[in-house]
Amino acid sequence: MWDDRSVTTEQPQTQPIPAADTAGATPDEDRATELASRGDSRSQRPTSDQFRRFIASGWDETVPEAEPLPSTAYTPARRDALVRSVPGTRMVLPAGVLKVRSNDTDYPFRPDTAFAYYSGLGTDEEPDSVLVVEPSAEDPERAEATYFFRPRAGFDSNEFYADARYGEMWVGRRPTLIEAGQRLGIEVRHIDELRDHLAKDVGAQLSLTVMPQVDAGVEAMVEEIRTQNGLPGGDEAAEEAAHLAETASEQRLVKDAYEIEQMRAAVDATIRGFQDVVRELPAAVAHRRGERVIEGTFAAAARAEGNGVGYDTIAAAGDHACTLHWIRNDGAVREGELVLIDAGVEIDSLYTADVTRTLPVSGTYTAEQRRVYEAVLGAADAVFAVAKPGMRFRELHETAMGVIAARLEAWGLLPGTAEESLAPEGQWHRRWMVHGTSHHLGLDVHDCAQARREMYLDAELVPGMVFTIEPGLYFKENDQLVPPELRGIGVRIEDDVLVTEDGVENLSSAAPRTADEVEAWIASLWG
């Protein structure tokens, strides 16, 4: 449904409407009124005071008692760890702002990951809100947190019925202050109190920093308060902000029990989405843009089961599989070819899975397709066999590359031996797999991306880490260094794993992996 006017307000309007009286206006005011009404030509909404009083009256404003969110059993410990890692600092974690898609339509709102992690809020809560985490006055090892947001607007506000971006009649109601406090278990305040709270006691004993690149308005506010209170700007301020981002990323490298449970749920929902896709494969073949049929089928499952897709679905048939981030998905799905599907459901808590299966469109792999598939599977299995606590993250990739290089050597594709290829000056095998084998996974598909190298690539695996194992081989149609029968075959097999005490658990094992299992799976779903 469309609004009947273009709303261009950046912030919710909570003030009562001033009397519409422009009599005696100056030329500047006339010009301002004219500018404000631009883009408003579709409006047929009544504006009389009588109507405004009528629409503001007769509403029951009670809201049900709210329950604490399940995540709030874990968020206090997360925030305590944060203040221990970034001591003496008031940390500002904005949720982020609505982003315009076009004209008066916004993208669906998805809060910033650090905000979600430390607040426990998921889904689309709450644009323009801010979580502030700081050391407690009584015990600097413990965190105090305050949530600032714009609570539900009054029925007598312009926003209530006339603001298509924020208004209750248009996008649903925001929580009340009481309700938000009940759900989050922390102090909650109106967003208008944010500036005073941020400025209080800031100086030599207490720094102030903000998660960068989430909310430009809040960043500007923090910069101004820092300047007013004698804290350095420029590179030093940027360094503090980058340190906050890095710390928040590194803290998520090891998941707590709630996160592991959420990851299991995200993977399970994703596998159900893949089942829907397999059932729809014949419909995809029948459509001229079968890749879109696959994308749409998975998206329907992701919206029904969760918040949506955790990243743009890759539905890549035939040679498109060799384009690593093929998300245009406008190709045909042809009998006899493979289709690579890389997709993940982001559930309401915002945790996402990241799974890839490469399926034979007609239900069975050809000999050449199976040969490539089994090489990739061999690389994945080799990683599964060695991944355990104490191993370095970078060794996951090295293990996979050992298998891939050996296969390519056996097929005569390398200009030297596998050993030479694996040496730093060789690396010929990377022509056919330019991406990495593993990345951390959680609230972000490429989770913990700001972690330092020593905490990520060079770090040892620890129980509670969740990452992908996703080797692949991609022989492009126009690759003259591979035999014609391999050209146009791209295969990736991607699973999501949890590091246990003595190895890894494959969270996505319910999605068949071997060529035989995949064929049997397809046959059973086509029944």
CB of 311 to ligand GLY, least distance (A): 5
CB atoms within 10 A of CB 466: 28
Find which of Mn ion, ligand GLY, none residue 134 binds, CB within 5 to 8 Å per kind: none
Residue with the two structure tokens 């902000």: 241
- In the list 13, 251, 468, 508, the residue contacting Mn ion (rule: CB under 5 A) is 468
Find which of Mn ion, ligand GLY, none residue 255 binds, CB within 5 to 8 Å per kind: none
Radius of gyration, CA atoms only, the chain: 27
Any contact of residue 352 with Mn ion (CB under 5 A)? no
CB-neighbour burial class of residue 28 (10 A; exposed 0-12, middle 13-18, buried 19+) = exposed
- Residue 422 tokens, joined: 């694996």
Find which of Mn ion, ligand GLY, none residue 479 binds, CB within 5 to 8 Å per kind: none
Residue with the two structure tokens 């600097």: 140
CB of 342 to ligand GLY, least distance (A): 5
User: Do the beta carbons of residue 376 and residue 473 sit within 8 Å?
Assistant: yes
Element (H, E) at 209: strand 207-210
The count of residues in the chain is 527
Complex with Mn ion: residue 281 or 309, whichever CB lies closer: 309
Give the footprint of Mn ion on residues 204-263 (CB under 5 A).
Answer: none
Complex with Mn ion: residue 337 or 354, whichever CB lies closer: 354
CB of 313 to ligand GLY, least distance (A): 9
Complex with ligand GLY: residue 97 or 441, whichever CB lies closer: 441
CB of 320 to Mn ion, least distance (A): 15
Long-range contacts: 21-30, Cβ < 8 Å, 24+? none
DSSP code of residue 494: B
Which residues have C-beta within 8 Å of that of residue 43, sequence separation ≥ 6? Answer: 4, 5
User: Do the beta carbons of residue 175 and residue 67 sit within 8 Å?
Assistant: no
Element (H, E) at 489: strand 489-492
- Residue 62 tokens, joined: 């009670």
Distance CA 395, CA 339 (A): 29
- Residue 247 tokens, joined: 């710390």
- Residue 271 tokens, joined: 């596998």
CB of 380 to Mn ion, least distance (A): 12
Distance CA 206, CA 91 (A): 10
CB of 54 to ligand GLY, least distance (A): 52
Find which of ligand GLY, Mn ion, none residue 319 binds, CB within 5 to 8 Å per kind: none
Find which of ligand GLY, Mn ion, none residue 346 binds, CB within 5 to 8 Å per kind: none
User: Do the beta carbons of residue 341 and residue 295 sit within 8 Å?
Assistant: no
Complex with Mn ion: residue 309 or 406, whichever CB lies closer: 309
CB of 299 to Mn ion, least distance (A): 15
Beta bridge partners of 149: 190
Find which of ligand GLY, Mn ion, none residue 170 binds, CB within 5 to 8 Å per kind: none
Find which of ligand GLY, Mn ion, none residue 311 binds, CB within 5 to 8 Å per kind: ligand GLY
The amino acid at 325? H
CB of 216 to ligand GLY, least distance (A): 28
CB of 413 to Mn ion, least distance (A): 25
Peptide bond before 126: cis, by omega within 30 degrees of 0?
A: yes
Complex with ligand GLY: residue 170 or 311, whichever CB lies closer: 311
Complex with ligand GLY: residue 124 or 495, whichever CB lies closer: 495
Distance CA 363, CA 519 (A): 6
Interface mask (CB under 5 A) for Mn ion, residues 328-347, using x and -? --------------x-----
- In the list 112, 168, 295, 354, the residue contacting Mn ion (rule: CB under 5 A) is 354
**Quick one: how far is CA 362 from the chain centroid?**
33
User: Footprint of ligand GLY on this chain (CB under 6 A)?
Assistant: 311, 342, 354, 439, 445, 470, 494
CB of 82 to Mn ion, least distance (A): 27
Complex with ligand GLY: residue 109 or 311, whichever CB lies closer: 311
Find which of ligand GLY, Mn ion, none residue 189 binds, CB within 5 to 8 Å per kind: none
Complex with ligand GLY: residue 162 or 404, whichever CB lies closer: 404
Q: Is 128 helix (H, G, I), strand (E, B) or coil?
A: coil
Residues binding Mn ion: number (CB under 5 A): 4
Complex with ligand GLY: residue 146 or 313, whichever CB lies closer: 313
Residue ranges binding Mn ion (CB under 5 A): 342, 354, 468, 494
